[in-house]
Amino acid sequence: MNSGHRLHLLVNPLGSGFATNFTQLRSKYSRVERKTHLHIINVIILVFLAEIDQDEQHFKPGVDSMSYIQLADQVSALFQAWIGMDSEGSFSKQWRLDVQGMHKVWSSLYMQTKSQEEGDTLSRGAGSRIGLIHEAMKLLEDEHLAFISESEKRVFPREELYERMRYLYHDVDRYKELRALVARTLSGEEAGQDAAY
């Protein structure tokens, strides 16, 4: 994919010798213990992307950002809403998401508070939500798509991420559907739509 300034090398996830499977990912990121953790990491990244991908005309590299606590709060709200809509498993089946499994693991992870963030005592241990968020953001940072500010405890998207969203993600139906689902859920609209079914 050529964005005009940079060349993004992308591979087909199916049948490609360059695609990363879970075993290869696990060997690179040893703290990704189970596939459920990988699913949660994908949701964390999706929440981050949905937050910064709201207005394509006004991408603000270096200005748009999210703190780990903001991400934790939004992911918690998302899982809470989804678990409420998935009482019989229909929501999970409709969206092809393991909502029950992800919610169970997320709920079992240690949750940190705003005062701990301000006091610079955030733990990135494997058993904490912040630890899993850090792993998710490290995936983006390793691909040079985001910058993690350790002092501010924030994640800043890089221009490369905006290019990838603009020239690739916006053409992927699954991304658009899930981004819209996250936006509707966090705004409270999805619960109303689900109740109509």
- In tens digits, the chain (197 residues) has pLDDT values of 555 666 655 555 555 555 455 555 666 666 677 888 888 999 999 999 998 887 655 656 656 789 998 999 999 999 999 999 998 889 999 999 999 999 999 999 887 655 555 545 555 666 788 888 988 999 899 889 999 988 778 899 988 888 888 888 888 888 899 999 999 999 987 655 554 33
Residues 154 and 70: their CA atoms lie apart, in Å, by 9
Q: With contact defined as beta carbons under 8 Å apart, do 99 and 83 qualify?
A: yes
Residue-level pLDDT at 196: 39
Residues 149 and 172: their CA atoms lie apart, in Å, by 30
The model scores a pTM over 0.75: yes
Q: With contact defined as beta carbons under 8 Å apart, do 127 and 105 qualify?
A: no
Residue-level pLDDT at 195: 42
10-18: long-range pairs with CB below 8 Å, 24+: 10/168
Residue-level pLDDT at 169: 84
For the record, the structure tokens of 169 come out as: 């993600």
What is the per-residue burial (b if ≥16 Cβ within 10 Å, else e) of 144-155?
ebbbeeeeebbb
Q: With contact defined as beta carbons under 8 Å apart, do 123 and 130 qualify?
A: yes
Residue-level pLDDT at 78: 96
Q: Which are the contacts of 106, defined by CB distance < 8 A and separation ≥ 6? A: 40, 75, 76, 79, 129
